[in-house]
C-alpha cells in the first residue's frame, strides 16, 4: 500500500498542441504557489497603486508598458527566488552556509528588480515635475 510520502511517478511528456495547454496549467500552478508568498501579495497590491500613480501623472502608453514589463519581471524574479528557496529547504533542512548564500543571492536578485521599479518611478516623477515647473 502506497503512503502519502512515497514519490509520485514521473508524468509522461506532453507533445503537440497539448503541450501548450500543459504549459499554461504549469504556469497557473506556479502562480498559485507563488501566491502563498507574502512578497507576491505585496507586488499585486502595489500594482494598482502604481497604475493609479501613472494615471494621475498622465503617463504615456510607453510608460504604462514599461511599468507592466517591470512588474512582470519582478514577479518572475520573485518566482525564481521562491523556487530557489524551495529547493534549498529540501536539500538543507538544517542550517547550511550554502543554503544561506543561495537564499541571499535570490533575495538580492529580487531587490535589484525592486530598485529598478523604484528608479522607474523616480524618473517618471522627476520628468513630470520638470514639465510642470517648465510650464508654470
Is 78 annotated as catalytic? yes
Q: 29 vs 23, 34, 41, 104, 116, CA distance in Å?
A: 10, 9, 16, 25, 27
Question: What gap in Å lies between CA 60 and CA 41, rounded to an integer?
Answer: 27
Q: Which of 2, 12, 78, 85 is catalytic?
A: 78
SS3 track for 47-109: HHHHHHHHHHCCCCHHHHHHHHHHHHHHHHHHHHHHHHHHHHHHHCCCCCHHHHHHHHHHHHH
Those residues whose C-beta lies under 8 Å from the C-beta of residue 92, and which sit 6 or more positions away, are 98, 99
Those residues whose C-beta lies under 8 Å from the C-beta of residue 91, and which sit 6 or more positions away, are 99
Catalytic residue IDs: 78
Amino acid at each position: 500500500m502506497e503512503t502519502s510520502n512515497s514519490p509520485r511517478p514521473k508524468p509522461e511528456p506532453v507533445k503537440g498542441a497539448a503541450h501548450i495547454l500543459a504549459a499554461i496549467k504549469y504556469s497557473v500552478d506556479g502562480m498559485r504557489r507563488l501566491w502563498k508568498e507574502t512578497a507576491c501579495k505585496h507586488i499585486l497590491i502595489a500594482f494598482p497603486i502604481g497604475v493609479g500613480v501613472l494615471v494621475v501623472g498622465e503617463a504615456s502608453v510607453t510608460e504604462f508598458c514599461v511599468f507592466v514589463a517591470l512588474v512582470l519581471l519582478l514577479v518572475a524574479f520573485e518566482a525564481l527566488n521562491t523556487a530557489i528557496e524551495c529547493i534549498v529547504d529540501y536539500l538543507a533542512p538544517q542550517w547550511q552556509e550554502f543554503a544561506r548564500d543561495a537564499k541571499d543571492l535570490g533575495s538580492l536578485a529580487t531587490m535589484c528588480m525592486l530598485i529598478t521599479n523604484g528608479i522607474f518611478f523616480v524618473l517618471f516623477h522627476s520628468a513630470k515635475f520638470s514639465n510642470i515647473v517648465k510650464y508654470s
